[in-house]
């Protein structure tokens, strides 16, 4: 994808998602993610009328006069978008690949957060961490997040090619990058370890992936103890159901192996459909049992509708 095409695609996503944020998601995001509530600010002398429950008895005893704790409201949030950019995400059987659907989802979340004056960060991962952009505010920053998901590694400066990961830090203005290697499998566990290492403040973390990985649930559970982790599964229709097209060669984008299947066999097609549906159900079941929210997005369908359903489900749950 050429740089001009990338910019045009970013612009299209900005226009479409901007309308959707304004018309549909504006209130949904705010109603679900409301900030951390109140934070301690200072201790000051008691003034008649203050709530006696706010008296700091330790300070009062030391000073010999009543003092109260003062709190201020803290509403600003940190939103971290963790986007899987492994080779399997490049697959798409319709007008939009899984990676492009991921970019559109990240745009919706980023613009919703910026509209609410929250900070947005981005982590691109595969078998390792390809790029990390610390949380910041502003529409330009949100647009950069979308661009990087769409164009990861394709617009690397000529001078940065061949450099070590440590040297590439300066070229990316503080955003660390390690390029994806050929046939490199996804590692969600490593992405979660990276999140815990670089983020001290409680963060809302959307992990957007096709979850073609193993043994990652414990890493998600550990991250969810400190942060608010939301798992977003992105699938393509042809991953859930294979049409009858005769002999079909299927290549594993990450392992590199190729196998030939006879799609004229109805039993084979049913087995593929059953196995794919069970994978989605089992993933949702395991994540929900770990108290991790789950969203399923079809790369060929609407990105907005599942997100709105998720926001409304969270809002109903918070009211209980």
pLDDT in tens, 71-124: 655 567 899 999 999 989 989 888 889 999 998 899 889 988 888 888 999 999
The DSSP secondary-structure symbol of 22 reads I
Higher pLDDT, 180 or 262: 262
Report the pLDDT averaged over residues 44-55.
88
pLDDT at 227: 94
Contact 237, 93 (CB under 8 A): yes
Q: In which element (H, E) is residue 7 found?
A: helix 3-20
Of the ranges 27-41, 249-263, 277-291, the best mean pLDDT one: 277-291
pLDDT band at 165 (very low <50, low <70, confident <90, very high): very low
Report the pLDDT averaged over residues 56-78.
84
Q: Which two tokens stand for residue 139?
A: 């529409």
Contact 136, 120 (CB under 8 A): yes
Q: Which two tokens stand for residue 9?
A: 């695609």
Q: Please give the Cα distance from 63 to 48 (Å, whole number).
A: 18
70, β-bridge pairs: 42
User: Smallest Cα–Cα separation from 135: which of 200, 228, 189, 47?
Assistant: 200
Domains in the chain, ordered, with CATH?
Answer: 3-35+79-319 (3.40.50.410), 37-73 (no CATH)
Contact 215, 189 (CB under 8 A): yes
pLDDT of residue 180 exceeding 50, the answer is yes
pLDDT of residue 170 exceeding 60, the answer is no
User: Smallest Cα–Cα separation from 228: which of 84, 32, 28?
Assistant: 32
Query: Each residue of 202-219: pLDDT tens digit?
Result: 899 999 999 999 999 999
pLDDT of residue 34 exceeding 70, the answer is no
pLDDT band at 178 (very low <50, low <70, confident <90, very high): low
Contact 205, 220 (CB under 8 A): no
pLDDT at 174: 40
pLDDT at 22: 65
pLDDT of residue 236 exceeding 90, the answer is yes
Contact 269, 245 (CB under 8 A): no
Rounded to a whole number of angstroms, the distance between the first and last alpha carbons of the chain is 47
pLDDT at 40: 66
CB burial of residue 138 (10 Å; 0-12, 13-18, 19+)? exposed
pLDDT of residue 199 exceeding 50, the answer is yes
State the pTM of this model.
0.77
pLDDT at 204: 94
Q: Please give the Cα distance from 166 to 79 (Å, whole number).
A: 26
pLDDT band at 147 (very low <50, low <70, confident <90, very high): confident
Q: 9-23, 39-53, 60-74, 302-316 — which is least confidently predicted?
A: 9-23
Secondary structure E strands in the chain: 37-45, 67-74, 78-84, 119-125, 129-136, 176-177, 204-209, 228-235, 247-251, 258-262, 293-298
Residue holding tokens 């492994």? 86
262, β-bridge pairs: 247
Q: Which two tokens stand for residue 307?
A: 């997100």
Percent of the chain with pLDDT over 90: 44
pLDDT at 121: 95
What DSSP assignment string belongs to 221-258?
HHHHHHSEEEEEEEE-HHHH-----SEEEEE-TTT--E
């Amino acid at each position: 994808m050429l740089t001009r095409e990338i910019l045009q695609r970013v612009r299209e996503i900005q226009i479409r998602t901007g309308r959707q944020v304004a018309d549909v998601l504006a209130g949904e995001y705010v109603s679900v993610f409301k900030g951390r509530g109140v934070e301690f600010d200072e201790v000051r002398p008691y003034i008649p009328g203050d709530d006696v429950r706010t008296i700091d008895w330790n300070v009062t005893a030391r000073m010999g006069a009543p003092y109260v704790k003062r709190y201020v409201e803290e509403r600003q949030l940190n939103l971290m978008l963790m986007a899987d950019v492994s080779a399997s995400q490049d697959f798409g059987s319709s007008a939009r690949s899984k990676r492009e659907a991921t970019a559109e989802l990240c745009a919706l979340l980023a613009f919703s957060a910026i509209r609410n004056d929250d900070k947005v960060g981005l982590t691109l991962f595969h078998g390792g961490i390809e790029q990390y952009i610390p949380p910041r505010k502003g529409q330009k920053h949100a647009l950069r997040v979308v661009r990087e998901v769409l164009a990861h590694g394709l617009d690397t400066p000529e001078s940065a090619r061949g450099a070590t990961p440590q040297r590439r830090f300066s070229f990316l203005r503080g955003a660390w990058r390690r390029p994806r290697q050929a046939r490199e499998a996804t590692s969600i566990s490593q992405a979660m370890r990276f999140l815990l290492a670089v983020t001290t403040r409680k963060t809302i973390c959307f992990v957007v992936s096709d979850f073609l990985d193993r043994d990652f649930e414990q890493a998600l559970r550990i991250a969810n103890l400190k942060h608010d982790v939301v798992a977003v599964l992105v699938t393509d229709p042809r991953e859930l159901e294979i049409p009858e097209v005769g002999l079909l060669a299927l290549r594993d984008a990450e392992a590199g192996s190729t196998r030939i299947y006879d799609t004229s066999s109805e039993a084979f097609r049913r087995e593929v459909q059953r196995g794919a549906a069970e994978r989605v159900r089992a993933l949702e079941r395991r994540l929900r049992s770990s108290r991790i929210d789950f969203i399923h997005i079809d790369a060929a369908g609407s990105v907005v509708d599942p997100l709105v359903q998720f926001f409304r489900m969270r809002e109903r749950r918070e009211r209980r």
